[in-house]
Structure 1
């Protein structure tokens, strides 16, 4: 397993813990028929986790769009621990340039708060 895989899995686990502590019902790595391996089922809905390292809000937007375009998910949890981009910057980007098919976005900010931005 690479350093990047380990970082990504650690952030996925961290996000699940924060979401659960914030009152969300989280099932990690649920078994779902007809779908790729989703990271979570949150309050009954499928979500994918993304933990960007990029300091470019546009790059983060592009990665999220890729997940939607590949029909990987319609809902994303974005753990912002490893990026210089702030939650408000990301929210502005998603508002200014909406992604068709993106339904819900929950951001885990650098302070460990779960914030529903979409």
Structure 2
């Protein structure tokens, strides 16, 4: 039996930014394409942050986002990792399933009511 010095464990891979998977992007881009065809949306941006990913849609380039679709994996077991957030920062829909969260855009137009 030979004694060998204790080797340190290999370094754990650094966690990169959170981003969308192909299937998730497909669902989001289907909704985006439908809203562009209706003339409601004109631009989008995607950002991967350390703790969450964000898909923002805009009425015009340079405007504040109309809606943000956020993926926060840390919330999966709590209220759900998906959230659709409106222009004023209010959460319109939250859940564990992206398709369910995106249903907020089905069949209705959003208008500001005085």
Q: TM-score range by the shorter chain?
A: 0.3 to 0.5
Q: Quick one: higher RCO (CA 8 Å, sep 6+), 1 or 2?
A: 1
Bigger-Rg structure (1/2): 2
Return the structure number with greater helix share.
Answer: 1
Given the two structures, how large is their TM-score scaled by the length of structure 2?
A: 0.39
Given the two structures, how large is their TM-score scaled by the length of structure 1?
A: 0.38
